[in-house]
Amino acid sequence: MTRVLRWGILGCGNVTERKSGPAFQRAEGSRLVAVMRRDGAKAEDYARRHGVERWYTRADDLLADPQVDIVYIATPPDSHAPLALACAAAGKPAYVEKPMARTHAECVAMVEAFAARGLPLFVAYYRRALPRFRLVASLVAEGAIGAVRTVSVRLTRPLSPAEKDPATWPWRVRPEIAGGGHFVDLASHTLDFLDFCLGPIAQARGETARLAAAYPAEDTVTATFRFESGALGAGTWCFAAQESADEVILEGDAGRITFATFAPSPVVVTRNGVATPQEVPHPDAIQQPLVQTIVDELLGRGGRCPSRGETAARTSRVMDAILADRGIPPLPSERKAI
């Protein structure tokens, strides 16, 4: 491995403009050297604007580039599994956008392919490395609210104009591409962070509905879940509501932590009736802290990236269980280890 980790991107769309692409350039010991997009004009434009040396219109060409050490897969979820398998076959580590894939079964195939080649597989659940969420995890680990007893999640948003017209449906509400609707895209961040903060979720079940019936995917989901620790959780996600709301509450036997998954809200610790807010800003390139852990791990600087194929597959397993009434099969018992 070179002393500078050289990245290639498959699918240089909107998510790479600010959230991830600049992170590869700003992380210490990291450089973005190649990008791929099927539209050559857009690939060339991205490369020019971001100072990237090479651009391609075919994934196979980028995978064959000997100057690319690791590949970031930033395409919609329906292509995550096939592109990841191609990365494994090419002998290159991969960093995959979230959700890791459309279903847990696809995640398992990805994990097994990289394990068979002895290659690392990382997933962009970047809240595991963000300072704001690290603070929440540290408070829990330090016993700031005692033993966590319950978790409450609420996320609501109104329908967007594009979601009301079949001609403009975004891919995020098309199950054949996204694996579901906004629940899969957005709730995955919360569920994955809860896995990181509180440990794996052992059981989950849910109810889904298309209450607005504006697009093919579910727009409303309710769920209950139990952590291996014994703590209980409940969540409500509605993407056809009047107003936006974003709140996660960790209730302990000695206090409470309240925070948001997406909104720029402070982390609030409440003990003995006294609420203490803590403001923790995000970095400009929000994926940079997680990218840095990947760079440090692969360059042998110590440490380990906290978001891996195995952990992300657990999150997909939970989402599959919550969405099971929609026809997604539950996890076979023999695959619980992943």
Digit-coded pLDDT (tens) for 163-172: 999 999 999 9
> Is the distance from CB of 19 to CB of 286 less than 8 angstroms?
yes
Please say if the pLDDT value at position 331 is more than 80. Answer: no
Per-residue pLDDT band at 18 (split at 50, 70, 90): confident
pLDDT tens for each residue of 138-190: 999 999 999 999 999 999 999 999 999 999 999 999 999 999 999 999 999 99
Predicted pLDDT of residue 327 = 47
pLDDT tens for each residue of 31-64: 999 999 999 999 999 999 999 999 999 999 999 9
> Is the distance from CB of 338 to CB of 107 less than 8 angstroms?
yes
> Is the distance from CB of 218 to CB of 208 less than 8 angstroms?
yes
Residues of the chain with CATH 3.30.360.10: 131-281+316-335
Please say if the pLDDT value at position 335 is more than 60. Answer: no
Predicted pLDDT of residue 181 = 97
Topology of domain 5-126, per CATH? Rossmann fold (3.40.50)
> Is the distance from CB of 199 to CB of 226 less than 8 angstroms?
no
Q: What is the pTM of this model?
A: 0.93
pLDDT tens for each residue of 204-257: 999 999 999 999 999 999 999 999 999 999 999 999 999 999 999 999 999 999
Predicted pLDDT of residue 330 = 40
Long-range contacts, stretch 35-40, CB < 8 angstroms, 24+ apart: 35/8, 35/9, 35/62, 36/8, 36/9, 36/10, 36/11, 36/12, 36/61, 36/62, 37/11, 37/12, 37/13
**CATH class, range 131-281+316-335:** alpha beta
Report the pLDDT averaged over residues 312-327.
90
Neighbours of 273 (CB within 10 A): 6
Please say if the pLDDT value at position 326 is more than 70. Answer: no
| Spatial CA neighbour of 10 closest among 53, 66, 74 | 74
> Is the distance from CB of 289 to CB of 283 less than 8 angstroms?
yes
Predicted pLDDT of residue 199 = 98
Report the pLDDT averaged over residues 254-264.
97
Please say if the pLDDT value at position 337 is more than 90. Answer: no
Q: Which residue bears the tokens 């651009």? A: 55
Predicted pLDDT of residue 3 = 87
Predicted pLDDT of residue 1 = 45
- Average pLDDT score, the chain: 94
Residues of the chain with CATH 3.40.50.720: 5-126
